[in-house]
Structure 1
């Protein structure tokens, strides 16, 4: 079974890009060398620049990181890769481009064949059954909100219960309570900054120091996950 590494975020305060996750990524990819990187969540900067940033961040891990956008056949790049990385940015833009380039089936197949999958933020949303628990604005319209379904549970990256003084809009917890009310069959795991989920060999584990929160019909406002509870949700 492939290893999945689903990161809440790519940058931690005071640390370089992906620095907090380098060891996790190295462990997840194992002996993989050729990485198909999907940069389509980027909207306000060039895909080439995104690839360069990831290469710089993971320099020393002996990975050949190839942007799928540079090929006339992005799905073919995925098919020929040892691992698949999907970066953060705008989830709706990522999903629209993934549909447009036939990447969903290609990634599912490659992961089914054993390739590790590493995603952060929008890339973690893409691994879920749908992208309906992203924090992003729907700046474009994908053909569907259905995503890869590599895990059987929804993720909310960058989870926080912060409520700034004077803010009269819904909190993150209230938004997720709306989701589980409308979709009681789909629990949501809120991953705070600096955390990740690793799924391998039929087991899942939470990485990092923050506590995940679980949203479901029994706890629509969210509860801190008991030991092993959030992890169990990620195993089919």
Structure 2
């Protein structure tokens, strides 16, 4: 069983910790090993510290894998990633993230970890990376990036409700076929996929939503809201 989660929040944006606790609740171990990959932010030290501060107080074993100052050889890198119960990918630049992973072979190792049962998850760029394509500002203006790992069929759009232009730009990309049908994640929502199929959708806010976005067959695109369970209710 292979699983991944798209997060519209977590330790980097939310104070309540509901989405992070939800992720840990789906780990295969009661005290999971959780590895943070801050690649998309250039391994920003403040981001790393925020992750460690949030997860050291939880019932888990947190660690961080930096790549911009890599210290592990290929064998050790593989051992570290395949030993994790959860790989948590931070936000930042999706295109840069994918390029750095491919240079270091991390993309292949994450595929192996995914096939072996490691839960893969992330926010923003850390959600985009798992799909076949994504909606991104990696190049400045909002655009489509048909270049993800493809572990999740279709496409992903993060920050669907919170960043100006996201909703209309993503719908236009899907409508004209620049991106395949996919998932639009509002801030506060999250989705769990098992073997590429939606297994659960949750939200930390009664106003946050997850949408299925697809072509309408007439040159446009439609959004279909997905029922979400309210966490903490």
Asked if TM exceeds 0.5, the reply is yes
For structure 2, which runs of at least 5 residues remain unmatched after alignment?
A: 229-233
Higher strand share: 2
Task: Select 2:215's aligned residue among 181, 200, 217.
Answer: 217
For structure 1, which runs of at least 5 residues remain unmatched after alignment?
A: 164-170, 229-236
Task: Select 1:137's aligned residue among 114, 139, 143.
Answer: 139
CA pair 76-147 structure 1, distance change in 2 beyond 3 A: farther
Matches of 2:10 and 2:131 in 1, distance apart? 18
Where in structure 2 are the equivalents of 1:133-172 lying within 5 Å? 133-137=135-139, 145-160=146-161, 171-172=165-166
Matches of 1:96 and 1:81 in 2, distance apart? 22
CA pair 138-72 structure 1, distance change in 2 beyond 3 A: farther
Matches of 1:54 and 1:104 in 2, distance apart? 22
Q: 1:187 maps to which residue?
A: 181
Matches of 2:48 and 2:111 in 1, distance apart? 22
User: Which TM-score applies when normalising by structure 1?
Assistant: 0.76
Task: Select 2:92's aligned residue among 69, 89, 94.
Answer: 89
User: Which TM-score applies when normalising by structure 2?
Assistant: 0.77
Matches of 1:226 and 1:56 in 2, distance apart? 32
Task: Select 2:201's aligned residue among 200, 203, 206.
Answer: 206
Is residue 117 of structure 1 aligned with residue 110 of structure 2? no
Matches of 1:68 and 1:114 in 2, distance apart? 19
CA pair 177-3 structure 1, distance change in 2 beyond 3 A: closer
- Residue 102 of structure 1 and its aligned partner are, at CA, apart by 0.8
Q: 2:48 maps to which residue?
A: 51
RMSD: 3.0
- Residue 48 of structure 1 and its aligned partner are, at CA, apart by 4.2
Secondary structure of residue in 2 paired with 1:175: helix
- Residue 200 of structure 1 and its aligned partner are, at CA, apart by 3.4
- Residue 117 of structure 1 and its aligned partner are, at CA, apart by 1.1
Aligned length: 212
- Residue 215 of structure 1 and its aligned partner are, at CA, apart by 2.5
Matches of 2:46 and 2:119 in 1, distance apart? 23
Q: 2:172 maps to which residue?
A: 178
Secondary structure of residue in 1 paired with 2:88: strand
Secondary structure of residue in 2 paired with 1:24: helix
Runs of 4+ in structure 1 over 4 Å off: none
**Matched-pair contact (CA < 8 Å) for 2:213–2:224:** no
Q: 1:234 maps to which residue?
A: none
- Residue 54 of structure 1 and its aligned partner are, at CA, apart by 0.8
